[in-house]
Structure 1
Amino acid sequence: MFGISLGDDGAELRPLEPWNAEEYLAHIDRCREYVGTHISLADRATDLSSATAFLQMYADKAATDSGRIYGIWVDGTLIGGVLFRIFDAQSGSCEVGCWLEEAFAGRGLVTRAIGVLIDWAVEVRGIHRVEWRAASGNTASLKAARRLGMVRDGVLRKSHPHRGERVDIEVWSVLAPEWRARRG
């Protein structure tokens, strides 16, 4: 199994696969309320079958090169994750996303993990545009996009239904030349 260290705080990024479904479900159960405030990820895994199906969907996306999902583990415990929700190498664009247990927020884990994904997308796969979408009320997510050097492209007003309400979605992006200049 491979893992990428996210620093010297015991954090590691590695693939999140269907065989991790039980661990993933336990993690989601711990953070369901917090994560579910802004994203529907928490609503997608309510039992072992749905958790397995969700992770299998991303295994299938990885097999077709259209998406991927990775977990963030700290000292051997799954505490969050990052993903390529959409990955389109042919058009040179992708969309990244994240989630994290509240107890681990503010440590830079998401910023470091998404940085690994963007590095790989840009430098290995030749992606030109990396996009991040987040509800306007999700200030932690928007701050992470800023820390990554992303630019706010605009707001899709009331474009996303979430738990019975329509919410504004902000679109942020970084282009490959901007990412390279920032990293260089």
Structure 2
Amino acid sequence: MRLHGNQVVLRAVTGSDIGTLDRIVREPEVAAWWSPPEDYGGMLAVVFEGEVVGAVQFHEETDPEFRHAGIDIFLTARQHGKGLGTDTVRTLARWLVEERGHHRLTIDPAAANTAAIRCYAGVGFKPVGIMRAYARDHRTGTWQDGLLMDLLAAELT
């Protein structure tokens, strides 16, 4: 799979990407919100100007009564604030809606991650509610609130 956004290309993570992704996920600005995954398999590398700058993943609920997809993303701090996150999320969201047939998408940033929330709102995601003590901060062991956001297919900007 290879998806083209306005600025980024999303493609399957390869073995040669793992070292780069592992370094990115350990950057202090990224590690504040992400813990290093055990496996990068199933993720898509985010490529900007020929360089891997992060990764994005999705999951799909296939039960017909609850069918939807969810998205998670991280980008190197060097590229924060340049619109690459918005382009990445929009590109993957469009594919999930148009090619995979999802009518609803979710994303669940930490409630304190205002930059991520602003990014997702730019794609059309809307806050649903706070999920209290939702995720454990791998650095401190404390539970942090999450913000559930969703996007209906017709709201994709």
TM norm structure 2: 0.86
- In structure 2, stretches of 5+ residues that fail to align are none
Aligned pair count reads 152
Letter paired with 1:135: A
- Alpha carbons 1:156, 1:169 under 8 Å: kept: yes
Q: Are the structure 2 counterparts of residues 151 and 30 from structure 1 closer, same or farther at C-alpha, using a change threshold of 3 Å?
A: closer
- In structure 1, stretches of 5+ residues that fail to align are 45-49, 59-68
> Higher Cα Rg: structure 1 or 2?
1
- Post-superposition offset of 1:135: 0.5
1:159 alignment partner in structure 2 = 134
Alignment map for 1:106-145 (pairs within 5 Å): 106-145=81-120
More helix per residue:
1
Q: How far does the alpha carbon of each residue in 1:132-160 deviate from its partner, in whole angstroms, 9 at most, with x for none?
A: 10111111211111101111000011121
Q: How far does the alpha carbon of each residue in 1:84-119 deviate from its partner, in whole angstroms, 9 at most, with x for none?
A: 0x2124432111111000001111111111111111
Alignment map for 1:13-162 (pairs within 5 Å): 13-16=10-13, 20-32=14-26, 33-40=28-35, 43-44=36-37, 50=38, 54-56=39-41, 58=42, 69-84=43-58, 86-89=59-62, 90=64, 91-162=66-137
TM norm structure 1: 0.74
Q: How far does the alpha carbon of each residue in 1:35-91 deviate from its partner, in whole angstroms, 9 at most, with x for none?
A: 110122xx22xxxxx5xxx133x2xxxxxxxxxx2111123221112110x212443
- Alpha carbons 2:136, 2:143 under 8 Å: kept: yes
- Alpha carbons 1:92, 1:126 under 8 Å: kept: no
Q: Are the structure 2 counterparts of residues 21 and 128 from structure 1 closer, same or farther at C-alpha, using a change threshold of 3 Å?
A: same
Higher relative contact order (CA 8 A, sep 6+): 2
Q: Are the structure 2 counterparts of residues 92 and 103 from structure 1 closer, same or farther at C-alpha, using a change threshold of 3 Å?
A: same
- Post-superposition offset of 1:26: 2.6
Instruction: Tell me the C-alpha RMSD between the 2 structures.
Output: 1.9
